[in-house]
Chain A
Amino acid sequence: MSTRVFKVWRGDSAGGKFVDYQVDVQEGMVVLDAIHQIQRQHAPDLACRWNCKAAKCGSCSAEINGKPRLMCKTRLDGLPVDQSVNVAPMKSFPLIRDLVTDISWNYTVNKKIPPFTPGADATFLMRQRDVDRVQEFRKCIECFLCQDVCHVLREHDLKPQFFGPRFLVRVASLEMHPMDTLDRLKLLKDEGGVGLCNITKCCTEVCPEEIHITDNAIIPLKERVVDKYYDPLRIVLRVLMGTGQDGGAAEK
């Protein structure tokens, strides 16, 4: 059996450091298995979150070799063999201890979004193709990796002004539900800060559910907001989207 060195962040808000652990590698092993082995053998108090071990609950988010990923979905044989494996907590949220961060802000944001509101006469007869898009958004497991990677939150820490990609996806799932009757565009524009997203697509790249966050959720929402509130801004949008001077994607 071969072994690998894991460098795991240990510490709390007062400070900390990466600590080295030797891990016995088994076939097919994922990073979360290694963390559990460390807990059993070396550090029973190593703090981490997990539940399903199957990429279904979104609890085990961390930064593995600097990249936001689910620990239960990251195989060791997919990481460079000649290097140690670096495991750190998500950077965009306040640290609690070791790999556990305080993600309560996300729950606060969710509460601000008015829930699904069907009309009194809604039939709920919906064809599959009319709900495909909404179902894509509803696959979200709330791992918050997209929130972690988005520079608006990560570098600029604009949490009070921006819902972040996860909750833009949430708004999109409501706005595009065939039976919903509310209009959340003003909220999106003001509190949601949808304009702060400059479509870097980093969120889409890290999403373990492969939701097309930017293309399918954020861009259509931006278009709706622009259409409703500031038509002239469509020019800027077009530039950002690289669709040229005239016409193009923003046209309905």
Chain B
Amino acid sequence: MNDKYETHEHDVIIIGAGGAGLRAAIECSASGLKTALICKSLLGKAHTVMAEGGIAAALANVDSQDGWQTHFQDTIFGGKYLNNWRMAELHAREAPERVRELERWGAVFDRTPEGKILQRAFGGHTYKRLAHVGDRTGLELIRTLQDKGIHQGIDVYMECTITRLLKDGERVCGAFGYWRETGRFVVFKAKAVVLATGGLGRCYKITSNSWEGTGDGHALGFEAGAELLDMEFVQFHPTGMVWPPGVQGLLVTEAVRGEGGMLRNNKGERFMEKYDPKRMELSTRDVVARAIYTEVKEGRGSPHGGCFLDISHRGAEYVKKKLPSMYHQFKELADVDITREPMEVGPTCHYAMGGLKVAAETGATRVPGLFAAGECTGGMNGANRLGGNSLSDLVVFGRRAGLGAAEYAKTASAPKVDAAAIESAAGEMTGFFGRSGAEDPYKLHLDLQNTMQSLVGIFREEKDLTAAITKLEEFKQRAQNVGVVEGQRMFNPGWHLCRDLHNMLICAEAIARAALRRQESRGAHSRLDFPQYDNYWGEHNLLVTKDGRQMKVEACPVVKTAELQPLVDDKKAKEKK
């Protein structure tokens, strides 16, 4: 199968059309560059569309004491001081302007009585801080950016999956991919590339992530020579659906707790009193997820292996107005009327704190011409992300990566792509066909998910992590032989999965290796064999890089800024009290 392929040339290509990619594309094309936006799904269907609870920004519309300093402090405390301080600062400072900008571009947030943007409480945020639209904030964000973007002359390539970045020496100069619809190949030449591919939740069995969350950007960047940061920190959202089986893992927004929802075990106890009496249900996600897990493990769980979450005391009218999609989700998928009875919920793999290491100001990775933004990057959230801090991250750093890539592209020379690299990328994709006795990609995927779920999950220990790494080596061998026996290249999901597995295996291995190395418990990373904080690890992040055919895991000091030290000290002092 020696195919011809089409070629497109742009100044900048952006891989991923969630909030981060769209915002980057808008900025890039506004500065006059020929910009392409590429995504695996249709435009407007990226994961961002599913975000529910809100976007965090210290607008101070409801709690007038709020300001960027407090948002910065909350973010760093939530991240257990492993965040890149500069990123957390830029995020807290710029989020309010990005939210107001969304409003000017047509987003319609819920209102305060004075007619301003309404804000709600969320775990780990000192003040009411999340601008929202009921429980469909992500839809509002993506639609607003999409409608802004399409009128700006961005070239959109949808249902197109990138499988490799192309390089010219050290520098990235384009990407190779296939059209989902036809299975034909396509080459993009570009002076700069922005990765905005979102998360990696599909590595786990129980996840709130869609099929797209296979860590493509993490893997593409890693293979091109960029560093992965904080990969051991995988956020398990405390409240996913646990029943019926088909919807296990589906998210139940934290807004339920933000609006007053209470967690109870099968004895009717509000068990958060034991784990975080000060913040209760609105403690940080790592704490609540571990609490629920522990309650279930110790026999105080709900019938389907979760706990109870109850919002019915707020009254039917209020619940339907503020949490309409949760109301429908439970009513239609689980036969539960949440205005009258409690939901059953349990932890679900939700978000990757870890990702490509980037410069805070520009989104640049260490590979020339390669930029990144959104969930596929690391640094902003440290050891644990606060709810609502992702949507704001997308628009703050999406814009910055768009600018960074544009600046770079303006002075970069024309890209040259290497025919041999394209041949090899095409060969990899066609190689999945016609393998006799091929490994079934669906089976391998399930095995991978089960391994990650049971051995690299909420609680970890050395023997499990070592066993996981051994298994992953086995899976990598099996992946050499995955293939599709029947069918052709038009819209063939089995074929697509063969390639996605490659990316998931890279992410899974990076997570497991970093988790083994971090011998302490912090944020989303809990080691049964090292249950305490450790001073050394409190000052260090882990970097995973490609070293020949191996993965190298190294510790490096947390990126701090001297001017922010007083704010950090102040927060530490407050939390000690």
User: A200 vs B306: C-alpha distance in the bound complex, in angstroms?
Assistant: 46
Instruction: Name which residue of chain B comes closest to A138, CB basis.
Output: B108
- Interface: B15 (CB within 8 A): no
Shortest Cβ gap from A245 to chain B (Å): 39
Find out whether the CB atom of A125 lies under 8 angstroms from the CB atom of B114: yes
- Interface: B478 (CB within 8 A): no
B546-575: CB near A (< 8 Å → 1, else 0) gives: 000000000000000000000000000000
Residues of B within 8 A of A57 (CB): 45, 49-50, 210
Interface set, chain A 90-116, CB cutoff 8 A to B: 96-98, 100, 102-103, 107, 110-111, 114-116
Find out whether the CB atom of B246 lies under 8 angstroms from the CB atom of A96: no
- Interface: A151 (CB within 8 A): no
- Interface: A146 (CB within 8 A): no
A52-B210 contact in complex given A12-B490, A111-B150, C-beta closer than 8 Å: yes
- Interface: A135 (CB within 8 A): yes
Shortest Cβ gap from A149 to chain B (Å): 19
Find out whether the CB atom of A28 lies under 8 angstroms from the CB atom of B333: yes
Find out whether the CB atom of A107 lies under 8 angstroms from the CB atom of B43: yes
Instruction: Name which residue of chain A comes closest to B134, CB basis.
Output: A135
- Interface: A39 (CB within 8 A): yes
A232-248: CB near B (< 8 Å → 1, else 0) gives: 00000000000000000
A45-B244 contact in complex given A51-B49, A53-B210, A115-B106, C-beta closer than 8 Å: no
User: A139 vs B324: C-alpha distance in the bound complex, in angstroms?
Assistant: 11
- Interface residue total, chain A, C-beta cutoff 8 A: 56
Instruction: Name which residue of chain B comes closest to A52, CB basis.
Output: B50
Residues of A within 8 A of B250 (CB): 53-54
* A-contacting 9-mer, from B276-284, B358-366, B373-381, B492-500: B492-500
Instruction: Name which residue of chain A comes closest to B446, CB basis.
Output: A40
A168-194: CB near B (< 8 Å → 1, else 0) gives: 000000100100000000000000000
Find out whether the CB atom of B247 lies under 8 angstroms from the CB atom of A45: no
Residues of B within 8 A of A110 (CB): 147, 150
Residues of B within 8 A of A53 (CB): 210, 247, 250
Find out whether the CB atom of B108 lies under 8 angstroms from the CB atom of A131: yes
User: A122 vs B103: C-alpha distance in the bound complex, in angstroms?
Assistant: 11
User: A124 vs B46: C-alpha distance in the bound complex, in angstroms?
Assistant: 28
Instruction: Name which residue of chain A comes closest to B324, CB basis.
Output: A139
Instruction: Name which residue of chain A comes closest to B486, CB basis.
Output: A45
Quick one: which of B50, B110, B150, B491 contacts A97, CB cutoff 8 A? B491
- Interface: B329 (CB within 8 A): yes
User: A23 vs B470: C-alpha distance in the bound complex, in angstroms?
Assistant: 35
User: A119 vs B133: C-alpha distance in the bound complex, in angstroms?
Assistant: 23
Shortest Cβ gap from B77 to chain A (Å): 31
Find out whether the CB atom of A26 lies under 8 angstroms from the CB atom of B442: no
Find out whether the CB atom of A51 lies under 8 angstroms from the CB atom of B494: no
Find out whether the CB atom of B245 lies under 8 angstroms from the CB atom of A27: yes
User: A96 vs B42: C-alpha distance in the bound complex, in angstroms?
Assistant: 14
Find out whether the CB atom of B104 lies under 8 angstroms from the CB atom of A118: yes
Residues of B within 8 A of A75 (CB): 332-333
User: A197 vs B329: C-alpha distance in the bound complex, in angstroms?
Assistant: 32
Find out whether the CB atom of A28 lies under 8 angstroms from the CB atom of B49: no
Shortest Cβ gap from B341 to chain A (Å): 16
Quick one: which of B100, B105, B116, B491 contacts A47, CB cutoff 8 A? B491
Report which residue of A57, A59, A115 has the largest number of chain B beta carbons within 10 angstroms of its beta carbon: A57
Instruction: Name which residue of chain A comes closest to B44, CB basis.
Output: A142
User: A29 vs B244: C-alpha distance in the bound complex, in angstroms?
Assistant: 7
- Interface: B577 (CB within 8 A): no
Residues of B within 8 A of A126 (CB): 108, 111, 115
Quick one: which of B105, B150, B441, B493 contacts A116, CB cutoff 8 A? B105
Given pairs A45-B487, A55-B329, 16 additional interface contacts (CB within 8 A): A28-B244, A30-B246, A44-B441, A44-B442, A45-B492, A48-B493, A59-B41, A96-B490, A116-B106, A124-B103, A124-B104, A125-B116, A127-B113, A134-B108, A135-B110, A138-B143
Q: Which residues of B contact A (CB under 8 A)?
A: 41-47, 49-50, 100, 103-106, 108, 110-111, 113-116, 133-134, 136, 139-140, 143, 147-148, 150-151, 181, 210-212, 243-247, 250-251, 325, 328-329, 332-335, 440-442, 484, 486-488, 490-495
Write 17 A-B pairs (CB below 8 A) sorted by A numbering. Answer: A12-B490, A39-B493, A44-B440, A44-B442, A44-B484, A44-B492, A45-B495, A47-B490, A57-B45, A57-B49, A59-B42, A111-B151, A115-B147, A124-B100, A124-B103, A127-B113, A138-B140
Nearest first, the 8 closest Cβ-Cβ pairs linking A and B are A28-B244, A44-B494, A45-B487, A116-B106, A47-B491, A125-B115, A33-B246, A51-B210
